[in-house]
Every structure is written in structure tokens, then in C-alpha cells.
Structure 1
Amino acid sequence: MAASALLHHAARPRAWVCRQCLLRQAGPRVPVRPITQGHLRKTIEAEWQWKEQAKEIKAGHKQSFLSMLEERGFVHQIAGTRKVLDNVMTDKRIAAYCGVDPTAASLHVGHLLPFMVTFWMYLHGFHAVTLLGGATAKIGDPSGRTTAREHQASATRKANMAQMHIQLKKLWNSVERMGRKHGYVREWAWRRALMNNNEWLNKLDVVEFLRVMGPAMRLGPMLSRETVKKRQQSGDGMSFAEFSYPVLQAWDWWHLFSSPNGVQLQIGGQDQFGNIVAGIDAINHIRHNNNDPVIGPKIYDPKKPAQDYLKAPYGLTVPLLTTSSGEKFGKSAGNAVWLSPEMTSSFDLYGFWVGTSDADVERYLKLFTFLPLPTISKVVEEHKLDPSKRIAQHLLAREFLDLVHGSEVAERTAAQHRSLLGRPSQPTDASNETSDAFDLEDSRGKPLRASDPRYFANAASGNKFASKVTAENAPFLGTFLPRSLVYDCSFAKILYAAGLVASKSEGWRLVSNQGAYVAGKPSQVAAMGDSLKWTPIKYHDSGIPEKFIFDENQLMLRIGKWKIKIITIIPDEEFAAKGLTCPGWNAEEGRPEKEGRGSKEDEI
């Protein structure tokens, strides 16, 4: 019996498996992170807490979040009904995003206003996304512009993107710290993200893009926009690329809206209202005509029309940043006050806010600080008792610098201003110049405006009399290095020459500990690409920095999390002719210093 059974089993035909199934079985297995019981418990607790909070708001025991924004002066326009948006933000922990294109090397004060709404949402438990427009910066938003944007070199655009990415990361760290400082205790359900639309727009299939977004964007509303009309009437016209910008912005929102985060609210400046409305119309069209069995029920449920407001998109714009006299701030206005200390020093930035008029200071305290409103009211009342002390202005300057430059810099700069302003007058020309620079009244006895050039140690850093900032004259935050100090050199030597480390030995230690990074991948052909990925510098990479050069003469290095350097490589003759110098360069002889044992500190 046993033998016959064995023969019968051996004669059975083997199961046939198709090649596709074999490939699927042999393919790499992607690890799936399981949802633990602890995660489910925290999710349920967070939902319960939000519902309890909603009950308190509806009962009138607690202020709604939208009312708080209105009280602080953040709300200019709402795309949708105000009551509906208020109900949505009360009933649901929605996600919101605010974006910026890196068309300059730094954010300025005007950029920060819509971001402050995003920061406040995060501190109140909403999901917040800051979006860097690495892809859309190639085109540029035409909103509010009478002429086309000037073309930016690829290297400049990538450098701007790197600088602004680091700047936004620093801002988020400061928001966490400032939140703790003002009593906002971080909860498990708080979510924030910094994203770059390079991630999806660079991989977007044009046919798929037109199939999804094309039917949702109508030519009539796009042609009737004020910016398009003005450009057509001026005779300059508008390129198809600029005309299509709102479509790309709408795709950004659709990508975030249809993602697991489900971003329902877009926050922008006053000039973004048209783009936001266009995005809402496009998303609603896609929602009502989407047949995807996976995404469809998540974004629109025709069986529950009464609950559709909880899934719909909304928009919110902040007012244009102006003084009480109507003066605008911004790069286009030519008086941008930059957040980067390399473009507007901490001293100048502090002086800018100290020079705020009494008519504006309370509004700016509400917009640019996380101080509670009762505290602001108390400080303003104290300020009115003796306006010459400018108590409110100093508080505004200190809180703002604490947010954008850090607490240590804020305290140090405040001390510098106190010592300078408190110094008695001396009968010298220098002291008279200093006294005039910080006089709070002009020769006619009228108070100086915040943008008065006498408030700035660096005249080009933020006053309205400075020349207009363009792609050509924007401050360069990188450095030049001669070709001989890059090619056939170690990364340690380049780090030293670029000023990122104090010695070559320190550069070697940094490389050995994998604390230094280079942008891009080795042996990249012609261009680095726009994703700006960082590669840790390895010890064995010490002789091949030239493999990481992109756009013919650009090299980008980073140490730690924040400090980056964009290096432009030029011929030795040009470096010497410009009168430039750097560590490891003999300026007198116009060539690299001779290698020698030198001090023990620089030995390798």
C-alpha cells in the first residue's frame, strides 16, 4: 500500500506557475509597518478629545480657532462660506498647507505672514504642511506682476532651494520651541511636514496631467483674471508657462488633497486668492467626477450630501502686509526685509521692528508673535504711558528675532541696541552719525517709519530707497573657490577652503564621522537634478570631489543639519584677478599655498 501510494504521488503533475507570479514571489518584499494597539488607542483618544473640544466651542465655553485668527487680524478673505469653514475646523482636525517658491535665497517678512497661520494651526492640533515650490519656481507665479519674471540660472535656483529648505526647517524648530515657551504642550496627534513639489511634478506624466486636470480648468475664468488682462493690455503679453501656473498650483493641491493627509485648506497671501479659488473649482470638479474605487469614497460620498462639507476644499488668505500709512513690504516693492541674517543682519532686523510706528505695533504683535492677546494689550497700555521707551516695539523685535534667528541671537541683539541707544552723546562726528541713525524723530519732529534708511546699518538690507532686488543683484550667499583648490583635492581641504571648518584636520575628522555631505550623486552627468539629495562624504571619496560638480562649476556642501555652502568654481587666474582669497590660497603670489607639514593642527 505504501509503495503504490508513493508511486501514485510521484506520477502527479507538478503545479504550473506563470512567470509573472514567479517574479512577484522573487521580488523584494517591502516591509509593512503594522498598526499597533497603542497606535489605535492613541488615535481613538485624539478623536475623542477633538469631539469634546468641539462641544465646548459650540456651547460657547471656548473660542473657535477661526475666531482666534480673526481676532489677531489674520483673515482677509475666505474661499467658501465663513460659517462652514468655522464648523469644519471645529468638527474635524483638518490639514492645511502654505507654499512658497524659492525665487530668492531667503524668505522675507511678507512670506512669514501666511506661514504664521500654518504655525498657529499646528500649535492648535491641526495637521500643517509647508510646501517648497522647487518645480514651480522654474516658471514663477505671475500673480500681481506687470512683467515676466527674469530667467534664473539653474545653479541659482538650486542654491535658493537649498537655502530656503534649511530656513523652513529652522523655522519649524523655532515654532516648537516658541510653542513650549508660551504654554502649548505638544500632543501625539500634532502633525507637520515640509515638502517639495519636485517630488511629484518632476515625475508627472503630461497626458495623465491633462486627463485629470484639463477638464477641471476652464479657459473663461482663466482668461478673465485681472493679472492676465493687465498683461494683455500692457502689450507685453503672457507666456503659456506663466498662464499655466495656476494649473500647476491646483495640481499641487490635488496631490496633497488626495493623499492620506487629505489637505483641505490652502493658506496664502492676498494676491493668491484667484489661484486658490481656481484650485477649489478644479478639485471639486475632480471630486464629483472621480470613478476611482479607492480614492472616490474618501473625497466625495454622494450618499451623504449633508456631510460633504467635511470633505470639501477651502481657502484662506491673509491681508497684504502694510504699515498704517499704506506702505507695502516685499521683494517686488523693492523693500523686502529678509529673514536670513546674511541678507538682513540681526541688528538691522531688530532695528526694523524697533522703528515700528505706535499705530502699527499692536497689529504686528498680534501677527508676528505667539504672545497671548491679554499680554499684548497689557504691554500696549504700558507703552502708552511713556511712548519714548518703545516698550512694545522692543518686545516685538525680541520675539520676532527669537522666532527667526533664535533666542541667543535675540537676547544678544537686544543688549546691543540697549547699549547703543543708552550711550551718552559725544562731541565727535562718529557719535553724531550713530545718534542720527537711531533718532526716533526726523528733523520736522515727525516719527520715523519702520523702513526709514537710518534704521539700517546695511542700507541695502531693507529700506525702500534701496535698488529693486532682481535675479541679477540678489545677494550671493555662496562663495568662489579657485579650480586648483577643488580639482584633485580632498573634501577636507575644500571644507577648509570654503570656511566650513577651521582646519584641514577638522575637515578630516568631520568626514570620518560622516558629519559632512555633498549635494547630488557621484558621476552625475551635466546636472544635479532638482531634488537636491545629499550624499554623506565618505573617507574613500576624499579624492573625487569633481565627480559631484554640477552645472559645470557648482559644488554644494553641508555640515551638520543647517550649515550649507554653495561653491562656484572659477579659474585660478580669475580668482586672483578678482582679488579674492580663502584659506589655503596665497593672495600675494596668486596661487595655492605650498603644502608643508605646518603646525600639528593641520597635519593629516
Structure 2
Amino acid sequence: MLPRTSFPSAYRAAPTLCRRCLLRSMTARGQQSRFISTSWLEKQDEAKRKWEERAKLIEEGKIQHIWDTFKDRGYVKDLAGTEDQIKELMVQKRIGAYVGIDPTAPSLHVGHLLPLMPLFWMYINGYRAVTLVGGATARVGDPTDRLQSRVPMKKTDMTMNITKIHYQLKRIWLNVEAQATRFGYEKEPRIWNRAILNNSQWYASLSFIEVVSRLFKGMRLGPMLSRETVKRKMEKGDGMSLDEFVYPLMQAWDWWHMFRKMGVRMQIGGSDQYGNIISGIESIKYLRDTEPDPDQKLSDDLSNTPIGFTVPLLTDSSGAKFGKSSGNAVWLDQFMTSTFDLYGYFMRRPDADVENLLKLFTFLPLEEVSEIMEHHNQDPSKRHAQYALAYEVVGLIHGLEEAATVQDQHKGLFSKGGATEVSSYPTGGPPTANMASAFRVDIKLPESLVLGKSITRILYAAGLADSVTDANRLTQHQGAYVGGAPGQPAATNRGISTGELTFTPIKNWFPQDTRNFLVDGKLLILRRGKHFVRVVEVVSDAEWEASGMMYFGEPGTGRVRLLRDALMTGAKEGEGHDLSALSSPEARRDFLDRAEALYSDEAGRFKGLPSEAFMVKKTRARQILEQSFRVFARSGNQSAQAKTAAIDEVLERAARNLDGHVENYMAEKKRQEKKKIRTSRPADEKSAVRWV
């Protein structure tokens, strides 16, 4: 035992403590210390000075107040607070604003984009912007404008939705920054501030009694029962459950958390959120004025006043609300609504609506919008304004490169063109966020792989690694992540909690430890880099086999092996299927000769089709097969990439040849049939009908 040391009680510990315990106590306090650099303070002082200069220019009328921009573009419907309060507060300080989204579907839709647009405008003008994913509140469900209660979501569905929406928002935010640069807004590092939050982050550690004692205690039932949503659901719907009744208070607590921690003074919502915003303002004022801790108490002046507003309701041509509950949602996920269809949706907007939509959904200056409409009105049939609108919206959601591509497809006889899906993590160039939007998030893999193979093989099968070797390198350098509890080892990891989305680096654990990361024993979330995510659904081996699908590295599905099997099928009877029998040069030469003949023999599938349709250069076919058989010649095996690339090249060439020959063959066949019919008709019919 170490000698005991006495020290003053000012250390908030017992009067006597051994040196080991003292050192532990001092070390724990040191780890929790946070330091602020002088450069950060200088940056904040500079930001404050710039903001004061900007406020002066606004007061002098030299630059437009952002609130006037909102009004000119049509973003403002209902106010929570006075217009003078809002304008003054937005000039005084860089307030924060937020938009909340409950993950009740696997994607955002166009209706979500409308309240997000003023938030984007605030961000590129220097305000703090927060998008909040309601991982906790989605477990209740907003009852606003609903007569029937929401069906409770499964944990797997909620996890899938949260994952998809989170990364969808990340990509859109990056596109917002690209749009800001495009239109001349210069980003100020460490001043422009945005965040994607999940309210499960604070609800997971929040004491229920704290909410009851702090918030519920100050709320009265009379005003809450008088809300239109409550009355309609109780009188015409299936009644109001208690969790639905307190949903506005849960939303209010979210706002209060961001209000005091991040300076979020404004909430922006859809037109149906006005009641929730008003309830939130009343709750925040009560929590602010009854703060028991004097060190955290906020004044009740304008700088600490909550405000909010709603945007207009987005409807289609029939007047119906756009949304997933209405069944007519236009999704922002290209696997639910393709970029071609999204572009086409805005191309079909009526001339009477397109100017308003250009103001609402684009960053185009109003002067440019006027020029577009003037050009459009000269010849509305050319739909110049619709082209501009569709291009800007697709560019905001999926990137300008994809917008240009889909615009060319629409102008080229409305052909959808080829699929743009990215099947695996790109290695030939930078893995951009917009490229990740074409990377399907949800996939299926068999149980025998997920629960019986190494995590490196799972990464390769999920398309997140170029090979098992590449996956091993990733795990060694902690370049890939799995959804689970951070900081816990694989053998005892408790996985993702309901409503949360947390990751931990992947390490080479035992195959049986993968089970600890499954959500409800069914979903495995994997990630490489910032944006490439796979949510793997584990299916039974029987279901996988019945699906006919294959994954990367699946046993027996390699290109070389499939090619060998196909060639062995055409081998002479009696020679067997043992490739080791091809060890002699004479046997290999004979096998290659028959392999080349196999290409032309395939012509039997199309009677009358010339054999050239299936021919490839014999030298190239021989080269591929020789590469695959070099292992028998003891000259060393070739890399899988070299062999598969060579095989793909030949197969693509054969496919092109086949398409051309089949097309020519069918055209010639039709001409022959037409000629035969013409020559066999009676003379009187020939004179009565003109044949072309």
C-alpha cells in the first residue's frame, strides 16, 4: 500500500487519499479539460466585426435583408412572432435555425425540400443551419393532420430510414455548398456552420423525470386540448393516445436542447407545423424563465426569444398535398424516383406555376428568373423555363454533372439511356458524394456469408472493397466502419440502439462476432469513407439461391471458372471434366481449338443466324484461355483483375457483334418475307394495293 497523503478539502475529495487514487482523480479531471485556442477567439471576433458591418449595410439599404429575400421568393406563410422581431433578431446576431424530419420513410421527397430551401439560404448567408433527424420522435409519430394513428415501425425499418435519410442530407448539403460557390457566395471557414443531428443523441441519456419536472409541470391541458389536431383526431379519428398528445412537447424539448446548446432561435416547418412551432415557443419561454441553475439562466430579451415560420403547402395540379401519406410523393432517392423521372416531373409543370417554382426551388437570382420567363414567353412550346427548373432541382439534389446528363437524355428523344447505378466502391477516381447517390444503400446477402465468413469477405461481397486483400488492408488501417456502439470490442458490442446511427471502426474479428452488430438479427450496416454505405439485409440461403443473384467473391461464380465450365460443357464426350487432365501441351492446344469453335457453335441458338454473329478474334479468345491455364504450365497464376478484364472485353465485343448481326438478320428476314408475300399475291390484288 502506498503512503497516504493529506491535502485540503478544496479538491472535492476525502481529506486523506492514497497517492494512486489522487493521481487517478487528477488524471480524470485532466482528460475532461477542454482548451480554446487564441486563433479560434480571433476568428470569432473577426466574424462578429463582419456581422456588425453587414448589419450596417442592411440598415443603409445597400444589401437586402435575408427576410426580404424570403418574402420575395415566397417562402413565408405563417409567422410565429412579429415580423419586426424576426428582422431585428436576424440582423443582431448569427442566429441558428433548424428543420426537423421524422424518418418515417426511406427517403426525403420534394415536399421536404420546400422548408429546407430557406434553411439553405440562411446557411450561405452566414447563419447556423441544423437539419434534425427525429430518430426518437419517429417512434411516436407526428399526429398532425392525421385521423388514424401511425403503425409502429420495426426497429429494422427505422434503422434503414435513418441511415438513408442521414446520408441523403449529407449529399444535399454538399451540393448546397457547390451551388453557393456557383452563385458567388464565398464560404467563410469556421464561421459558416451546419450540422445533421439525431434527437436520439440526447433522448438516450435524458432522464424522464427531468422532462416531467421541467417542462410538463408548466404546460396546461386547456390550450393543448384546444389544438385543432387534437380535436379532429378525438372527434373524427381513432382517438388521441398519450404519446401523440405529448408529441409537440417532445418536439419542443428538441428545440430547447438546440436553443441553449447551439443558439438555435428559429424553427422552419411545413404549413402543417404551425401549431407545433407555437407550442415550442411557449415551452421554450417557460423553460428559459424557470431555469433553476443561475449559471445557465438566459435573459428574456430579444436575443433569447424563439421565433419561427412556416412555408406554403406544396400541392400538385389537382390541389393534393405532396407527401408519402398522400401516395403521390416524388422521392429524392434515385432508386425510388429516378433522376430521369425527377427531371421529367419538373418538366411537366404548367406554365402558370413554373415561375413560382423557380423562385422556391432554385438559387437563381430573381433577375435571372425574370429573364428566363421573358425568354420562355416568347415561345412557350419550347418549355425553356421548365428546362431551367428541372436542371436546377436535379443539380441541387444529385449534382450538376448528373443534371447535365439527364438533360441530354430528355432532349435526345426522351430516351432514358443506360443505368447509372454504381455497384462497388470506385477505385478509378475520387469517390464523390454524388457518385454515392447512385450506390444502392440496401442490398441482400445470404446468412451463410454474413454469419459464417470473415468481415473482410463481407466487405468485398457488399462492394465496399475491390478484393478480400483490399478489405484486409481497410480493416488494418481502420478505413471501414460498422454500425454499432463506439469504443466497444466486437465480442461484447451491444450494437446500435433504437433510433440511433453510430459507427465503430471494423477490425478483423471472429466470424461469430458479426452477429453482435446485427439489428434485430437482420440488418448489418457497413460504411467506407464518408458517403458509401451499405445496409445489408441478411436472408436465408434458400431465399438467396432462389433469387438468382450473385455477390462479389461468391464461390463458383468467378468469371474464369464460369468460362471454363462453359467450355468443358462443349468438350468431347468421354474426356471428363477434370482440368488437371489438361497438363500436357497437346491436351491444352486441343482444348483451345475446341474452345474457339464453341463461339461459332453458339449460332445454333438462332436458326439461320450467320455464325459470324458469335465470332470473336480467335487469337484473343486463345489469349484469354491461355492466361487462365498458365497455372498448369507452371508459369505462375495471373491476377484476377487481368483475367476478368480480358474476359469482359471479349464478352462485350461479342455482345456488340451479336446485336448488330441479329438486327441485320431480322431486317433481312423481314424483307425476304415481305418479298415472298408480294410475289405470291394474285395479279388483281397486286393492282389494287400499292406496296412500298
Q: Which TM-score tier does this pair reach, normalised by the shorter chain? A: 0.7 to 0.9
- Which one-letter code corresponds to 1:177 in the other structure? A
2: CA distance, partners of 1:30 / 1:252: 29
2:639 maps to 600
8 Å contact kept, 2:107–2:333? yes
Of residues 252, 255, 266 in structure 1, which corresponds to 2:254? 252
2: CA distance, partners of 1:485 / 1:542: 9
2:315 maps to 322
2:69 maps to 68
Deviates more, 1:161-170 or 1:534-543: 534-543
2:299 maps to 300
Unaligned runs of 5+ in 2: 417-439, 566-627, 632-636, 643-692
Shift of 1:579: 4.5
- The C-alpha deviation readout for 1:220-252, integer Å capped at 9, x for no partner, is 121111111111112511211111111100100
2:363 maps to 370
Sort the Cα spacing of 1:583 and 1:311 in 2 relative to 1 into closer, same or farther, 3 A.
Answer: same
1: CA distance, partners of 2:555 / 2:27: 60
Shift of 1:513: 4.3
Shift of 1:540: 5.1
CA RMSD of aligned residues (A): 2.8
Sort the Cα spacing of 1:139 and 1:602 in 2 relative to 1 into closer, same or farther, 3 A.
Answer: farther
| 1:207 matches 2:209 | yes
8 Å contact kept, 2:163–2:501? yes
Sort the Cα spacing of 1:371 and 1:575 in 2 relative to 1 into closer, same or farther, 3 A.
Answer: same
8 Å contact kept, 1:101–1:134? yes
Give the TM-score, by structure 2 length: 0.71
8 Å contact kept, 2:474–2:480? yes
2: CA distance, partners of 1:493 / 1:147: 45
The alignment partner of 2:302 has SS state of helix
2: CA distance, partners of 1:76 / 1:112: 16
1:49 maps to 50
- The C-alpha deviation readout for 1:312-339, integer Å capped at 9, x for no partner, is 1011111111246523211111111111
| 1:379 matches 2:372 | yes
Of residues 535, 544, 547 in structure 2, which corresponds to 1:566? 535
For 1:143-154, what aligned pairs fall within 5 Å after superposition?
143-154=144-155
For 1:98-137, what aligned pairs fall within 5 Å after superposition?
98-137=99-138
Of residues 13, 16, 19 in structure 1, which corresponds to 2:14? 19
The structure having more radius of gyration, on CA atoms, is: 2
Higher relative contact order (CA 8 A, sep 6+): 1
8 Å contact kept, 2:448–2:541? yes
Of residues 326, 329, 332 in structure 2, which corresponds to 1:333? 326
Of residues 496, 501, 505 in structure 2, which corresponds to 1:536? 505
- Which one-letter code corresponds to 2:168 in the other structure? Q
2: CA distance, partners of 1:382 / 1:369: 18
8 Å contact kept, 1:342–1:477? no
Unaligned runs of 5+ in 1: 1-12, 302-307, 422-433, 438-475
Bigger share in helix: 2
Shift of 1:489: 0.6
The alignment partner of 1:495 has SS state of helix
1:157 maps to 158
The alignment partner of 1:130 has SS state of strand
1: CA distance, partners of 2:445 / 2:454: 14
Shift of 1:537: 1.6
8 Å contact kept, 1:105–1:477? no
8 Å contact kept, 1:96–1:127? yes
8 Å contact kept, 2:495–2:517? no
2: CA distance, partners of 1:273 / 1:262: 21
2:460 maps to 496
2: CA distance, partners of 1:557 / 1:249: 30
Shift of 1:105: 1.0
2:244 maps to 242
- The C-alpha deviation readout for 1:460-483, integer Å capped at 9, x for no partner, is xxxxxxxxxxxxxxxx95222221
- The C-alpha deviation readout for 1:357-384, integer Å capped at 9, x for no partner, is 1111111111111111101110111011
2:140 maps to 139
1: CA distance, partners of 2:29 / 2:511: 33
Sort the Cα spacing of 1:93 and 1:477 in 2 relative to 1 into closer, same or farther, 3 A.
Answer: closer
The alignment partner of 1:486 has SS state of helix
Shift of 1:600: 3.1
The alignment partner of 2:551 has SS state of coil
1: CA distance, partners of 2:225 / 2:52: 44
Of residues 335, 347, 350 in structure 2, which corresponds to 1:357? 350
- Which one-letter code corresponds to 1:534 in the other structure? F
Shift of 1:26: 4.6
The alignment partner of 1:19 has SS state of coil
For 1:443-482, what aligned pairs fall within 5 Å after superposition?
478-482=442-446
The alignment partner of 2:31 has SS state of coil
Sort the Cα spacing of 1:483 and 1:221 in 2 relative to 1 into closer, same or farther, 3 A.
Answer: same
Shift of 1:514: 3.1
Of residues 552, 556, 572 in structure 1, which corresponds to 2:525? 556
1:180 maps to 181
- Which one-letter code corresponds to 1:556 in the other structure? I
2:398 maps to 405
- Which one-letter code corresponds to 2:146 in the other structure? R
8 Å contact kept, 2:484–2:495? no
2: CA distance, partners of 1:497 / 1:181: 39
8 Å contact kept, 2:443–2:536? yes
Q: How many equivalent residue pairs?
A: 527
1: CA distance, partners of 2:512 / 2:362: 48
2: CA distance, partners of 1:351 / 1:87: 41
Sort the Cα spacing of 1:527 and 1:41 in 2 relative to 1 into closer, same or farther, 3 A.
Answer: closer
- Which one-letter code corresponds to 1:197 in the other structure? N
Shift of 1:279: 0.6
1: CA distance, partners of 2:540 / 2:40: 58
Deviates more, 1:103-112 or 1:533-542: 533-542
Shift of 1:512: 4.1
